[in-house]
A and B are shown apart, each in its own frame.
Chain A
């Protein structure tokens, strides 16, 4: 046997090895197993407790499995519970032994005491052993009909557990239908809630390949079930209320009266002590009133108070969760919150994640009436001991300055920051002054006077230095010593590590040269020489370009490098409105906290570099130490190689690589160095290196023939934009197509076709109609570009014909898309 390679697992050093203890426990359990002595149960309790505490600290007590099962034949509830716990923990690793427990668990499922019946059923369902499912069906069916509501709640979730072990078994026993019946009739609200949890999960997972499930899901969002749940809402526990409210938020009412009825019914939920219920209610209100502008605004006014209360109450984590939602609302409608700015003042003791959100909100709601107060407050934070927050607040002041028309006072404040003589304050301020000058060139005089006093030596941060150098170049005519400052910077070229700064320096010297040629000539020569000799490709290229430009014609060079500029009117928003709407749709979820739509963090292809979690999850819990560590290390490597491979594949396709960035963050040294090589060398060499690593790369990369047009798998387009585009664009292609017979047969509900088209990267934005006529609006996006295709498709199932109208941003690709769409449509039903 190989000697143990790595150190034992983390928990072990501080704890006893446990070997001898387990043997000891086994022995004692064996002695007690058959005993019916009066004190035996108490002794057993103590022993069981010891076993469980061993289990908790990570000692593997599974060897005592059979002894535990022997001792479990008892009428003592306390003992039974501990035994269930033990069995639940170890059954998965010992499926054979788990079989031993089935017997007594099944017996307990018929116990007189409902508590024991429930517990036994829960344990039985939690064994999670594939070959034991057949024993589950009968107790579950009985559990769903049990007269104790406790057992029924357990059984309702039990069905879901069964579904996760064996979906077919669950369907064969017709459990979903039973759950549905139970949900609609059970007097106990918790049973109803658990049925709902299970059904939603089962049917949503099935909906992808079963139309029936899709229909059932539709029915759950239908009027009758929603009303049934709403009418009982007060019976539900606070958690179940969250579930129901979430369901309700997806319901589509037929008219405004219905909307008002629902809102009146739910109005009092806003006073619920549980913040989660309040947020869920807010979501319902916001979504219900989306199409009614005035009422939507009223909703904002109404929910303000509860939200502010929630922010102030509870732990910092809770208020953070609420604050994230408030942040979202503030960003959507800043004017509505402009008078509440004082609520967003930071407390000294607020954690920094709270402060950051508050700063952003203060920035957003600043308007003519409150700017003075807000900026005064922000200036207070600039001296904050928490440096990142100080930086944020300076940035916030700058952002407000860029939003406002009356920036007079704000500029003064900013310039005062420069006098604070703190590196980071100066650095942030310089960047801001630069942006401010780009928008309001008329302020140059005041700013330059102050900026001119700053010694370029005192600034270390590349961004700030670049900003200063830009100003030196741009306003060299107003700054007496600009050429000389630039000259000294050029002299220290070697010491400047950031390419960004060197690039800016080149441009600034050029600009300065056009304005004050005699003074700058020497510096320009030195800068170009240094640039040409630079290691950085970009710097080198720019220097060369300037050099040749000057050689060609100085006047042209000036027109290129220093043309008259127009003031920037609006700085680009970083997040598109589509993304924002997506996030708003997913109100009351993680999307709001992460500030990105859920597909960006739940779908695998969008996730960041931390792909190791799957590997970690494969490791068995509490397993032996050495092997696992080696194993995981190997997996890391494999994983990295996968990434590497995928990068080179992508380079082959010539597309922009998203995954490329993840290659660089590969954890192990070997891999990161190879990845650098592979990305900087030419393709064949990269393959050779891959081969060296033993990846077995194909000699001839067998790439699938590229389709003429590839579509973005997850395009994002909100209805508003769709509507706008549809109105603007002209019909680029109008066709009639025939559906296959299978296709017509599958088209019992719009849902099925929508699913099918989604698989072909064509998304549905709206659908409607009754048989035989259906109308769909689809859209798709060309891969790697922003051009959209919009489609109106009217299907008549009686004649099996489809009328297609296509509008495209890029009309040239329209035909290619039309054929793609047609082929997708004709495939419908055949798969």
Chain B
């Protein structure tokens, strides 16, 4: 059935061998020999092949708690006996009720480590008793919350938890057994979960006609994320390319840091077991394609992705060899891929602030915002937050569009523009009067100006979907929808 001596993938195609073939191999080997020579006189040749002694056990979570902001336990599950039932008291006493709450999400108290996360008005705390895998624990919490949300219909907060005790218990039992993570895929859980989530009245139920899940259906290891026998009357795929653009600009107007993190969200309502193939205008993919079809790349913008990660459904081997994204999608909504770009980012907005301090008690703030995307598209929900000193007494504004307001709780002037057309500019000039105090001799470095916005039909990276092919053996037609949107991540301009 399996040959223990052979690794299946022996084809030498990827990164390391490329690099090594590129480099003179003899050089590498001579190095290795030297290394061995150095070692042999003293040690047996297998010196380096000895594992360090130590704990080799996988680490399981001992308990998971959901607390509200006051520290009351909303729900908990103790998976193991190695920590006490009252660990939550320790958490309350030593973390929640101290100033340390915000200082670090991983804390050790006694022999136990606590990983905690706040999501809306709930703290989720995982307790472990030994040297656990932190990244795994946090990812698990995030995934679990996403799962709960899919059952509750959007919101995850104290009320949702209180309304869904039984469901959460059921889910917690299925997604983790004796502290080891099990299956978190919603598709498969549907087979085992009996409760329905109590949805908040505002969430809209998907009006979908679905095949009734067959409770005895076997989910094979082959395509673990998709059930067989799905039928849709109308086969549709929705693609959302969502980018968030991060910017840090110095007060002199030079870009200190700028990148785009994007994700492609997909909603699939497809029958059967469809095979999908997605083409993007990324450089490597296009080059590979032209190489395979032996024809030059068509002119047009190509972009370079710094890094890509995919949903587990994507065939990574094929991505590595052919540079195409091909996959059998899960049913419903999921995140197909994430990417990051640092080169050639199109910043949608330019911000030009001038701030003058006129004596001790007066300040003049002038902010000009220019939109640099296409004239036919609009940005929505533009917010510019200009920080002002704490001792602000009075403000007055003049704006060319939108509305400005002084918000004392965040010590900022908040300027909102609902709709901002491309290739235009808007300015705000404000006068700020300050209470004169003796405390601050010199103003500290001001916090940066922050911006929020959404630009539909625009990608800061320039990424475009070239094609999305759906292939299924029954050969039905599919309707594909593609949307683009760019949001502000942390868009900061120092002033």
Are B53 and A764 interface neighbours, CB within 8 A? yes
B39-78 Cβ-contact flags toward A at 8 Å (1 or 0): 1001110111111111111111000000000001111001
- Check if B435 is an interface residue, CB within 8 A of chain A: no
If A309-B306, A309-B340, A768-B50 touch, whether A11 touches B72 (CB-CB below 8 Å) is: yes
Q: For the complex formed, measure the closest distance between the CB of A649 and the CB atoms of chain B, giving whole angstroms.
A: 22
B309 touches A278 (CB 8 A): yes
CB distance from B54 to the nearest CB of A (A): 8
Asked if B312 lies at the interface with its beta carbon under 8 angstroms from chain A, I say yes
CA distance A106 to B78 in the complex (A): 23
**Contact, CB under 8 Å: B32 / A256:** yes
Interface residue A723 (Cβ < 8 Å from any Cβ of B)? yes
- Produce 1/0 per residue, A590-604, CB < 8 A to B: 111110001101101
Q: Is A569 an interface residue (CB 8 A)?
A: no
Contact A611 B110 (CB under 8 A): yes
Q: Is the CB of B312 within 8 A of A238?
A: yes
Report how far A113 CA is from B44 CA in the complex, Å: 58
Asked whether A122 and B177 contact (CB < 8 A) given A256-B32, A594-B108, the answer is yes
B165 in contact (CB, < 8 A): yes
Whether A271 pairs with B75 at a CB distance below 8 angstroms is no
Cβ of B320 under 8 Å from chain A? yes
Are B103 and A293 in contact, with the CB atoms below 8 A? Answer: no
B248–A766 touching, CB < 8 Å: no
With A153-B182, A221-B51, A613-B84 as contacts: A113 and B216 at CB distance below 8 Å: yes
- With a cutoff of 8 Å between Cβ atoms, the chain B residues found around residue A118 in the complex are 192
Inter-chain CA distance A261–B447, complex, in Å, is 51
Given A114-B216, A591-B131, A617-B86, decide whether A347 and B138 contact each other with a Cβ distance below 8 A. no
Given A81-B170, A115-B192, A190-B131 contact (CB < 8 Å): no
- Judge whether A613 and B112 touch: CB under 8 Å: yes
Q: A53-B165, A81-B194 are contacts. A274–B139 as well, Cβ < 8 Å?
A: yes
Instruction: Give every chain A residue within 8 A of B248 (Cβ-Cβ).
Output: 345, 347
Query: Contact partner of B117 among A302, A317, A591, CB < 8 A?
Result: A317
Binary interface encoding of chain A residues 246-284 relative to chain B, with 1 for a CB under 8 A from any of its CBs, else 0: 100010101010001111110111011111101110000
**How far, in whole Å, are A758 and B16 apart by their CA atoms in the complex?**
39
Which residues of B sit under 8 angstroms from A754, Cβ to Cβ?
53
Q: Which of B87, B178, B448, B492 contacts A617 (CB 8 A)?
A: B87
Asked whether, in the complex, the Cβ of A598 is within 8 Å of the Cβ of B55, the reply is: yes
Contacts of A591 in B (CB 8 A): 131
Nearest chain A CB to B147 CB, angstrom units: 13
Q: What's the Cα separation between A90 and B314 when bound, in Å?
A: 44
CB contact between B320 and one of A267, A290, A616 (< 8 Å): that residue: A267
Within B271-301, the residues touching A (CB, 8 Å) are: none
Q: In the bound complex, do residue A231 and residue B8 qualify as a contact, i.e. CB atoms below 8 Å apart?
A: yes
Within 8 Å CB of A278, what residues of B?
309
Which among A58, A313, A324 has the greatest number of chain B C-beta atoms within 10 A?
A: A313
Give the complex CA separation of A308 and B90 in angstroms.
34
- Size band of the B side of the interface? 35 or more
Contacts of A588 in B (CB 8 A): 133, 135
Chain A binding surface SS class? helix
Contact of B7 among A237, A262, A758 (CB under 8 A): A262
Chain A contacts for B218, CB-based, 8 A: 148-149
| Residue A107 at the chain B interface, CB threshold 8 Å | no
CA distance A754 to B87 in the complex (A): 36
Answer yes or no: A586 CB below 8 A from chain B CBs: yes
Instruction: Kindly state whether residue A77 has any CB partner on chain B within 8 Å.
Output: yes
User: With A and B bound together, what is the CA distance between A58 and B312 in angstroms?
Assistant: 40
CB pair B309–A273 under 8 Å, yes or no, is yes
A584 CB, nearest partner CB in chain B, Å: 11
B131 touches A586 (CB 8 A): yes
* Contact assessment for B48 and A291 in the assembled complex, using a CB-CB cutoff below 8 Å: yes
The CA-CA distance from A268 to B113 in the complex, in Å, is 32
The answer to whether B308 and A590 touch across the interface, beta carbons within 8 angstroms, is no
Closest Cβ–Cβ distance, residue B19 to chain A (whole Å): 6
Answer yes or no: A522 CB below 8 A from chain B CBs: no
Known interface pairs A268-B317, A754-B53; A321-B134 also in contact (CB < 8 Å): yes
Stretch of B256-264, B362-370, B372-380, B425-433 with 4 or more beta carbons under 8 angstroms from chain A: B256-264
Question: What are 26 A-B pairs at a CB distance below 8 A?
Answer: A11-B73, A49-B166, A157-B177, A164-B80, A200-B56, A223-B4, A237-B181, A272-B309, A274-B139, A309-B340, A313-B340, A314-B139, A317-B116, A320-B105, A347-B248, A347-B492, A420-B442, A585-B54, A598-B54, A601-B131, A602-B130, A616-B87, A617-B84, A727-B42, A766-B44, A768-B46
Q: Which 7 A-B pairs have the closest CB atoms?
A: A617-B84, A383-B445, A613-B110, A621-B85, A268-B316, A224-B4, A239-B181
User: Given A324-B134, A613-B112, 13 more contacts at CB 8 Å?
Assistant: A78-B195, A85-B173, A150-B192, A153-B177, A271-B308, A272-B310, A312-B261, A351-B102, A384-B444, A601-B113, A613-B84, A613-B110, A616-B89
